[in-house]
Chain A
Amino acid sequence: MTWIALVGADRAFKSWKTTTAAFRWDILSKAADLIEARCAEIARTLTMENGKSLKEASGEIQFCADATRWYAEEAKRAYGRIIPAHAAGIRQLVTKEPVGPALGFAAWNFPAGNVTLKIAAALAAGCSIIVKPSDETPGTAVAIGRCFQDAGVPAGAVNIVFGPPAPISEHLIASPIPRKVSLTGSTPVGKLLQRLASETLKRCTMELGGHAPVIIFEDANIEKALDVLIASKFRNAGQVCTSPTRFYIHENIYERFVAGFVERSSKVVVGNGLDDGTQMGPLITERRLDLMDGYVKDAVDRGAKLALGGYRLNREGYFYAPTVLRDVPDDALIMHEEPFGPIAPMASFSSVDDVIARANSLPFGLAAYLFTTNLATSADVGEALEAGVVGVNHTSVHEAETPFGGVNESGYGAESGMEGLDAYLRTKMIAEKRA
């Protein structure tokens, strides 16, 4: 059976790929304007589905507008090149062309950003796309989709479907029509979709889970590091693939840093994301509360000390207290599994070689952070860390214009940046000889 979304995407691709970059720029620019104009209403929907604060949701929607504008411009720069020929009378042209209809599988933690990056990049490159957003955050995806459609995207160029992930992904990926799969999701799901895509040799972009180490060196500006890391740790209640999740602190500043982190974490305002002043909302599902309890219990059983929190809040909804674990041993579950929650596990280190080895000890490699005032430390450790993105003295590692993606079991390929557009393009060499 060929599903109608596939037929529509296939037909739309055949005409959309022939449009000029200037035409696509115009439509994407209008979509960006609509996203910006509808920011307040989309943000409210996002907060009601995901739980993050309205401030965070609004920032995510603004990112969507910025990224769509950036891709609108980048559509004009899908440059090829001319290669000097080895014989007279020949021209060797290298061109970029859209890869084909694409499939985008998006996550719930950035339901607007995920969907927008996939749609905008595909359309900019000249591809059509079928998006399968998370069923936990459908309204946000619908609202973003309406912006693109209202901007003039032709029928079939953008499709949005919901439902059980397994049968939908199996049907869509098995079809020969799509030529590209882009996933933002977990590492196990990435491995599954890659296996499915291998049957028809579809190109993939895999933006998967991480477990970001954050290394605080002895010479770090501790107060500034605390400001940055408190905001980053509890952003979206820790449900961020680049969230700092393994804190390694030099032994000479360990007590001071932990005390400062606990003190500031205790002041994080937890509540309904729609309420004024809320800094951290609930987790996405009730099941995640059980996982948080499990991580805390396991760490304490193995010798860690609970410095703050460690419990679900006694109220309606899926709220978990900002939690700090100290003296966490390397064999604790939370030092191996991405917690995706508001827990900060902390441990000390004494030597640079030791902390790099521990930071690189997992199969993941998405984000990593270091805090130092020493340029040599920044350069040496930044190069040594196994990660797709590294933040030095800050954690803002994903912008519209910068490539974002992981290495090793955090995936491959990139979204955003010129690499994000290239992910939806293929290369063709045309050798012309005068007849």
Chain B
Amino acid sequence: MYAEKLELLIDGVWSQGSAGETSPLFNPADGTEIARVPRYKG
């Protein structure tokens, strides 16, 4: 099971980034989506 909590680290603070936008992260061993990657928008 994929365990890492994906967050941005900006100025000492971990967060989910801007506007709730994310992109999918796939496990190449089976092609399944395992997480959503947050986006930095300034």
Contact = CB atoms under 8 A, between A and B. Distances in A.
Contacts of A48: 2, 27, 29, 34
Contacts of A45: 2-4
Interface string A36-69: 0000010011001111000000000000000000
A79 interface: no
A281 B25 CA distance: 17
Interface of B: 2-13, 17, 23, 25-31, 34-35, 37-42
B33 to A, nearest CB: 12
Interface in A271-324: 272-274, 281-286, 316-318
Interface residues of A, number: 49
Question: Which of B27, B30, B39 neighbours the largest number of chain A CB atoms within 10 Å of its CB?
Answer: B27
B42 to A, nearest CB: 4
Nearest to A44: B3
Contacts of B31: 286, 316-318
A7 interface: yes
Contacts of A274: 29
30 contacts: A5-B10, A5-B40, A7-B11, A44-B3, A45-B2, A45-B3, A48-B34, A49-B27, A49-B28, A49-B34, A51-B28, A135-B25, A138-B25, A138-B35, A139-B6, A139-B25, A142-B9, A149-B12, A156-B11, A159-B10, A161-B40, A162-B6, A163-B23, A163-B40, A164-B39, A168-B40, A274-B29, A281-B29, A316-B29, A316-B30
Given A1-B42, A48-B29, A159-B9, A138 B3 contact: no
Contact of B5 (A44, A142, A273): A142
B9 A283 contact: no
B2 A171 contact: no
A285 B28 contact: yes
B39 A163 contact: yes
Interface string A1-29: 10111011101100000000000000000
A4 B3 CA distance: 28
Interface of A: 1, 3-5, 7-9, 11-12, 41, 44-45, 48-51, 135-136, 138-140, 142-143, 145, 149, 154-156, 158-164, 168, 171, 272-274, 281-286, 316-318
Contacts of A145: 9
B28 A50 contact: yes
A270 B34 CA distance: 22
Contacts of A162: 6, 8, 17, 37-40
Contact of B8 (A12, A161, A272, A285): A161
A183 B13 CA distance: 24
A274 B25 CA distance: 17
Contacts of A171: 42
